[in-house]
Amino acid sequence: MIEVRCIGDHDPLEFKVVVRDGEGESRHHVTMARKTYEQLTAGKDTPERCLEAAFRFLLDREPKESILERFDVTVISRYFPEFEQELPRYLSQS
């Protein structure tokens, strides 16, 4: 389960993300500039849904314990160059 909660609505937006599975949980503090949010979703999804999709993308590639504790969403593309291209597929999943 991925729980995303907005904790700051300035720019950049700030979120607390908790990832839970049968083996426990991990907690993350993630920032995302409004401009980045618009680029990633064209405003068609909420910032929370965008981050949930980003975490599903990450979890398909690494365990929750390997995800950085604090990061900006733009960092994902540095580790996984296909992120922006793949994100729409994750956003389209319910």
In the prediction, which pLDDT does 77 show?
Answer: 97
Q: Which residues pair with 26 in a beta bridge?
A: 19
Q: Where are the domains of the chain?
A: 2-92
Task: Give the SS3 label for residue 59.
Answer: helix
Average pLDDT per block of 10 residues along the chain, 94 residues long: 95 97 96 96 94 98 97 97 97 84
Say if CB 12 and CB 31 are below 8 A apart.
yes
In the prediction, which pLDDT does 94 show?
Answer: 60
Q: Is 43 left (phi over 0), alpha (psi -120 to 50) or beta?
A: left
In the prediction, which pLDDT does 43 show?
Answer: 87
Q: What is the rounded CA–CA span in Å between residue 55 and residue 4?
A: 10
Q: What is the rounded CA–CA span in Å between residue 83 and residue 87?
A: 6
Q: What is the rounded CA–CA span in Å between residue 14 and residue 16?
A: 7
